[in-house]
Amino acid sequence: MNTAMPVPCSFSAIQGKNPALAKKVKEQHYFLTVEDCEALEKIDRHTQVLVRCGGGRFTCAVQSVKHFIHIINEHRKEVYNDDIMKGGDYVRDVSLPM
């Protein structure tokens, strides 16, 4: 049984599969928009991205970005009434770790 994890997509693989996306992301200094994440997910949903928050950072598969952003935002809304000044976290940006 092969239990090897899939190898995350490299930037050169993105260039080969979607040159326009690679050019756009490079011009954005590897920061990703929601649309970029959706396009990247079509290339390889296991591609690791860096999510920076106000209180820390983590990596996750591009397929999970929307889910984690939703969790962070909902927690802030429920606990802190959506007031960042009272506490809670927020997502600053998403990028390709280079």
- Name every residue whose Cβ is closer than 8 Å to that of residue 30 and which is 6 or more positions away in sequence: 95, 96, 98
Cβ atoms of 73 and 90 within 8 Å: the answer is: yes
CA–CA separation, 49 vs 98, rounded Å?
10
Q: What is the pLDDT of residue 5?
A: 52
Q: What is the pLDDT of residue 55?
A: 85
Cβ atoms of 46 and 8 within 8 Å: the answer is: yes
Over the stretch 16-37, which tens digit does the pLDDT of each residue have?
999 999 999 999 999 999 999 9
Over the stretch 5-15, which tens digit does the pLDDT of each residue have?
554 567 888 99
pLDDT band at 98 (very low <50, low <70, confident <90, very high): confident
Supply the mean pLDDT for the chain. 88
Q: What is the pLDDT of residue 3?
A: 57
